[in-house]
Structures are given as structure tokens and as C-alpha cells.
Amino acid sequence: MRARARDERGLSESTQWAVLFSLLMLLTLGIIQAGIHLHGRNVAQRAATAAVDAARGSFGTVAEAQQVAHGIAQSGGLQGVTIRISRGATTVTADVSGNAPAILDIAGRIHETASAPLERVSQP
């Protein structure tokens, strides 16, 4: 009778470890995915800021700004990158969108925007 009780207790313990291990793995993957998503947001923000910096100068162009932003976004690991830059009379705005690499695709598309005034020559 005593040996049988020990066997059942061991079975219960191994089931607990299986459930606990699964939860720990899910938690670990979630933390890793959150870090990847935050890195993707930082890369998109940096790409948008660099594009605005390239386009806002006196001799800056939209094409050059798109090239800079695309290079930063791809080297940072974003996939499916789309870049929209609008250079108005007084401001430059850059929108960078892309997908970060995903273990579990639950975060969605990343979208970041940067804006700055154009550099203009003015009389003192």
C-alpha cells in the first residue's frame, strides 16, 4: 500500500514540473519577443529621425533621406519597410513603418514618425 502511494505522488510531481516548465518557456519567449519589438521601435524611430535630418538641410533631398532611412531600418532588422517623407515649405516629416522579426506574431506593424523645421537662410 505504501509503495503505491509513492508512485502516485511521483506522477503528480512530474505533471507539476511539465506545466511549470511550459509556463516558464512561454514567459521567456514573451520577454524575448517584447525586447525584439522594443528594439524594432527604436530602429524605426532612429530611421525616421535620420531621414528628417538628411532632408531638412539646405541641400537635402527626399530621395537621399529615403535612402538613409531605408539603410538604417534594414540594418536594424526591420522587414517590409515603407518610408514616406514629405518636405513642405517649413517642415519635413518622415513616417517609417516595418515589421520586427517575431517568434509569436502578436505585436503587429511598427510605425514611427519624426518631424522638424526646414533649415532656411534668413537675414540677421
Q: What is the pLDDT of residue 17?
A: 84
What total of structural domains would you count in the chain?
1
Domain membership of residue 123 (yes or no) is no
Compute the distance between CA of residue 17 and CA of residue 25 in angstroms, rounded to an integer.
Answer: 12
Residue appearing with cell numbers 527604436: 42
Give per-residue pLDDT as tens, 13-68: 778 888 899 999 999 998 999 999 999 999 999 999 999 999 998 888 899 999 99
In contact, 117 and 107? CB cutoff 8 Å: no
Model confidence, pTM: 0.79
Strand partners for 99 = 79
Q: What is the pLDDT of residue 103?
A: 80
Taking only Cα atoms into account, the Rg of the chain, rounded to an integer number of angstroms, comes to 25
Q: Which domain holds residue 9?
A: 2-117
Domain membership of residue 37 (yes or no) is yes
Domain membership of residue 27 (yes or no) is yes
Domain membership of residue 124 (yes or no) is no
